[in-house]
Structure 1
Amino acid sequence: MIQSKAWDWSKNENNCWLIPTTESCYLAESWKSKGFNKFLDLGCGLGRHSIYFAKKSFEVNSVDLSQYGIDHLKAWAEKEKLDVKRGVCDMVNLPFANETFDCIMAYNVIYHTDTEGFIKSLEEIKRVLKSKGELFITLISKNTWSYENANEFKRIDSNTILRNEHNTELNVPHFYVDIEDIKKYFADFDFVNMPVEETEYNMKNSKYFSKHFKLIVSKK
């Protein structure tokens, strides 16, 4: 298994990482309607989802491999006077007891590893998620430009390459999936909604595009 590598958030120049994703509103309302309260922001980055869910009165735990990200979240939560528990940890070894969380968000997170690391991270998610608890996760698709042109990057295994086109993600591994992989890896979950594959284009050069799967699953 490849060693996990944190994003270098000190090189981030894009404020989009401070704005909650569009899915956050739906998830907060859906999860509250189901009586969920204990929320894990897995791979919290600078803390955008942690802050959002804390403001929605969830009991928030946030973890990331980046000390810079956790320090940023700490300062942000203190400024907002929000109680957000946080810590630095590797996603392959989560510091929580079995069945701790009602709901988990892993936005562009657990594909930053190789195949073995992905399987281990998903096992850890399943371990700390309560029965019938839900996971929202994004996964990078094999249909994206970087995988289709993987010869331009260093390959780790058949599903994983090291990308080097972004300062924050320099030499961070990326694990790619297709729909058959999703069916295989999430066999122990129920699909709350069917996987959706979305495309984002680089408008300066549209040959560069990124495709991600988004799905919500429930632990059986």
Structure 2
Amino acid sequence: MNTQEKWHEMHSQKRHQPRYPSSDLVSFVLKNFKKDDQILDLGCGGGRNVKFLAENDFIAYGVDYSANGIKATQELLDLHKLKAELKIASVDDIPYEDEKFDGVICYGVLYYNPKEVIEKAAKEIYRVLKKGGIAYVVIRSLKDYRYLNNEKISKYEVLIEEKDSSKSAFKENGMKMYFFDKDEVKRVFGDFNIEEINRIETSYKNDSIYDSHYCVVLKK
């Protein structure tokens, strides 16, 4: 089963459809965008961020390469009588014209792709942003336990083989995953003005393992 098929299956299950957006994303969007700005959630999954955008008076768009993810997003919008434009597409081939969006969100998505796709996705995000537009991209760092505890394919890529079913990485078994240090952030997103590279870390198992993410603010 390839990664797309695995996500298609996972997005059909309610436990893989988180209900609420992350607090850092909420703060970022409300601070940086205004009513009626056009914002794309790239890799929208089960729709939590698209719903948040739509209910806060932004013009919301969602793209995901899982048909079940788009279906779940539409059902969530319908339940709350909200509207957004949704399309099935890959992160490296965004089906919108140049300089369409005031903002792009890509939260916890890119690292499920190989380097070549991530590089194309960065260029696509740049292309569809308006001049002066802002992107908020969340990616995993080399301090994440998935990177530290799994087989390295290359400097930044690992194959997930988690034996502990209580860890969130267990559902990612068999996936190749791409991690970043700051140098790789700067290389991949070199077309942008990189406004900020921040880190969010959450520890588990008595502070023995970490989910570690970079929260990157990019401006065109």
Q: Does TM-score exceed 0.5, indicating one fold?
A: yes
Is 1:97 equivalent to 2:94 in the alignment? no
1:87 counterpart residue number: 87
In the alignment, the residues of structure 1 paired with residue 142 and residue 29 of structure 2 have an alpha-carbon distance, to the nearest angstrom, of: 29
CA distance in 1, matches of 2:12, 2:3: 18
- Residue 24 of structure 1 aligns with which residue? 25
Q: What's the counterpart of residue 188 of structure 2?
A: 185
How many residue pairs get aligned? The number is 210
SS in 1 for 2:96: coil
Give the % identical residues. 24
**Taking CA–CA contacts closer than 8 Å with sequence separation of 6 or more, which of the two structures ends up with the larger relative contact order?**
1
- Gapped regions of structure 1 (runs ≥ 5): none
Relative distance call for 1:132 and 1:85 in structure 2 (3 A) is same
Q: Secondary structure at the match of 1:111?
A: helix
Deviations 1:82-111 (A, max 9, x none): 111112111111111111111010000111
How many angstroms apart in 2 are the aligned matches of 1:218 and 1:179?
17
Structure 2 unpaired stretches of 5+: 163-168
| Runs ≥4 residues deviating over 6 A | none
Residue number in structure 2 paired with 1:218: 219
Q: Which of 123, 143, 155 is equivalent to 1:158?
A: 155
The CA distance in 1 between the partners of 2:217 and 2:115, in whole Å, is 21
Q: Deviations over 1:87-139 (max 9, x none)?
A: 21111111111111110100001111111111011111111111110000111
The answer to whether the Cα contact below 8 Å between 1:101 and 1:133 also exists between their aligned partners in 2 is yes
Out of 48-57 and 137-146, give the one that drifted further. Answer: 137-146
- Distance, in Å, in 1 between the alignment partners of 2:13 and 2:81 is 27
Contact kept, 8 Å, 1:36 with 1:103, in 2: the verdict is no
CA shift, 1:168, in A, is: 4.4
* Counterpart Cα distance in 1 of 2:23 and 2:133: 21
C-alpha displacement at 1:14, in angstroms?
Answer: 5.9
Q: Deviations over 1:183-215 (max 9, x none)?
A: 2222221233x2112222223x64332211012
Deviates more, 1:117-126 or 1:18-27: 18-27
Q: TM-score, normalised by structure 2?
A: 0.86
Q: Secondary structure at the match of 1:44?
A: coil
Supply the distance in 2 between the matched residues of 1:32 and 1:114 (Cα, whole angstroms): 31
Conserved? CA contact 1:114–1:157, under 8 Å: no
Q: Tell me: CA distance 1:177–1:61, structure 2 relative to 1, closer, same or farther (3 Å).
A: same
Per-residue CA deviation, residues 42-92 of structure 1 (Å, 9 max, x unaligned), is 111110110001011111110111111111111111111111111211111
Distance 1:93 1:14, change over 3 A: closer
* Correspondence 1:67 to 2:64: no
